[in-house]
Structure 1
Amino acid sequence: MYPTRPRSALRTAVVWEVVRAALEKRAAELEQPVLDVVDTGGGTGNFAVPVARLGHRVTVVDPSPDALFALERRAAEAGVTDLVRAVQGDTQTLPEVIAPGTVDAVLCHGVLEVVDDPAEALGSLAGTLRTGGVVSLLAANRNGAVLARALAGHFTEARAVLSAADGRWGEQDPMPRRFTGEELSRLAAGAGLRVESVHGVRIFSDLVPGVLVDTEPGALDALLKLEEAAAAQPAFHAVATQLHLLATLA
């Protein structure tokens, strides 16, 4: 089951399948069915609630009280209130709410783009993990943004993304920061993490006109299968909107 409705599953299906399989593998390694998972920046529970439905304990750390309120409502509707804990905070306050070395898996989706210091943030996340713990890291891809701006006819902005240190096209860019796969891998290594796999996310779905997906019979399912088939192939990583790294604490 995907953690979102079918149309938006195009944006989350690849990540969800990787996360689900990683949690299943980790539980088998530890010979325990219930893992302790932290979802930093997890907001309304798009991933936290499905993870809880697998039977795991999930702590969502997010700075938005409104998002956490929505999370609690979603958890109640899913019948997993006892497995989901909402904590207001961020990566800087994480050491205050999560004891070091007590977590089996961390979800860090869309966080490194907005924090002041990505290396420090990832280090804080890694510090909560037990040895062998898993990190699911999802971040905006610089190279994918270059292609998207160019296809939209914004060639100057595309060139700016390509050369700017933060991967932005200017002050009007709503994304605070973007990364290449190499940059994300270096950040992971700096935090003591070993990268196990890299997947491209939203390779085609952000480029295909929505009308084709919504009106052509079977198009949504076919596009979803195409995304899943291409996600693990390095040749497509450069054009993906996001990059997903799965890493473990050595």
Structure 2
Amino acid sequence: MRTEGAARQAATSPAVRTAVVWDVLRATLAARARATGRERLDIVDAGGGTGGFAVPLAELGHAVTVVDPSPDSLAALERRAAEAGVGVKGIQGDASDLRDLLEPRCADLVLCHSVLEYVEDPAGALSAVAALLRPGGVISVLAANPVATAIHRSLSGHFDEARQVLTDPAGRWGEQDPTPRRFSAEALAGLLTAAGFVPGETSGVRVFADLVPGRLLDGEPRAARALIALEQAAAAHPVLRDIATQLHLLGHR
């Protein structure tokens, strides 16, 4: 029998955690392919790490470049891509350095997932991404939501820290918080607009996945599929999306 930890891992497995994002990305890629007449699109994954998104995108036939500051992550990316039988280009660097690392207007889609929380200058990073995109290109932004953090801290009994999240401008629960900043949907849309993007609709990612007790999925293969369906239904709900662990937003050039 699986432990509670293993069951919790099943509840927050990549399929559950990213299903909503992949729904949006697949639709975006299809629309971009129709608009350009090219099935093979050029994609940059800024901060793409070990290739959780990059390798599956390459498996779909796209040309993918990962820019990440960690050499260890890039080495793991290379191994992961080799195991999948695809090629993914890895470049060491920060999101703020994209202008120096890549040619302007080289990308149809840029992923900026779990990056804005950590870069020194989020607005500058988005401006650098904008320079990479061709006319009609799209940025995919995924960022931590402070409301969800307040909920999670309170469920762990850290009530003062939960209150701190709600009052702190950066959405942090204290000095020991490993995340430098979190963003509301309005803040993300504002950043995208200032960088020259037209923001799309916001989706909530992991509305329930981080709250569901792991034992509910233990030994129940159908439960994970049902949880994914629930996440997909909640993603655009006008109330539930605002309590999601992460917020997903597209920006169009």
Give % identity. 57
List alignment gaps of at least 5 residues for structure 2: 1-9
Name the amino acid aligned to 1:18. V
Q: C-alpha separation between the residues in 2 aligned to 1:234 and 1:144? A: 15
Q: C-alpha separation between the residues in 2 aligned to 1:79 and 1:22? A: 24
CA contact 2:11–2:212 (8 Å) conserved in 1: no
Deviation of the 1:65 alpha carbon: 0.6
Name the amino acid aligned to 1:48. A
3-state SS, counterpart of residue 92 of structure 1 = helix
Deviation of the 1:172 alpha carbon: 1.1
Q: Which runs of 4+ in 1 moved over 6 A?
A: none
Q: C-alpha separation between the residues in 2 aligned to 1:235 and 1:245? A: 16
User: Residue 62 of structure 2 aligns with which residue?
Assistant: 56
User: Residue 7 of structure 1 aligns with which residue?
Assistant: 13
Q: How does 1:138-217 map to 2 (within 5 A)?
A: 138-216=142-220
Matched pairs, number: 244
Q: C-alpha separation between the residues in 2 aligned to 1:137 and 1:217? A: 30
List alignment gaps of at least 5 residues for structure 1: none
3-state SS, counterpart of residue 179 of structure 1 = coil
CA contact 1:214–1:220 (8 Å) conserved in 2: no
Q: C-alpha separation between the residues in 1 aligned to 2:27 and 2:123? A: 26
CA contact 1:140–1:241 (8 Å) conserved in 2: yes
Q: TM-score, normalised by structure 2?
A: 0.93
- What are the Cα deviations for residues 75-119 of structure 1, in whole angstroms up to 9, with x where unaligned? 1111112xx100000112211111112211000000000000111
Name the Cα RMSD after superposition: 1.6
> Residues 6 and 52 from structure 1, CA distance in 2 versus in 1: closer, same or farther, beyond 3 angstroms?
farther
Q: C-alpha separation between the residues in 2 aligned to 1:221 and 1:180? A: 28
Deviates more, 1:15-24 or 1:158-167: 15-24
User: Residue 123 of structure 1 aligns with which residue?
Assistant: 127
CA contact 1:35–1:57 (8 Å) conserved in 2: yes
User: Residue 93 of structure 1 aligns with which residue?
Assistant: 97
Deviation of the 1:215 alpha carbon: 3.4
> Residues 109 and 163 from structure 1, CA distance in 2 versus in 1: closer, same or farther, beyond 3 angstroms?
same
Deviation of the 1:5 alpha carbon: 11
User: Residue 111 of structure 1 aligns with which residue?
Assistant: 115
Q: C-alpha separation between the residues in 2 aligned to 1:219 and 1:5? A: 9
Which of 1 and 2 has higher RCO (CA within 8 Å, sep 6+)? 2
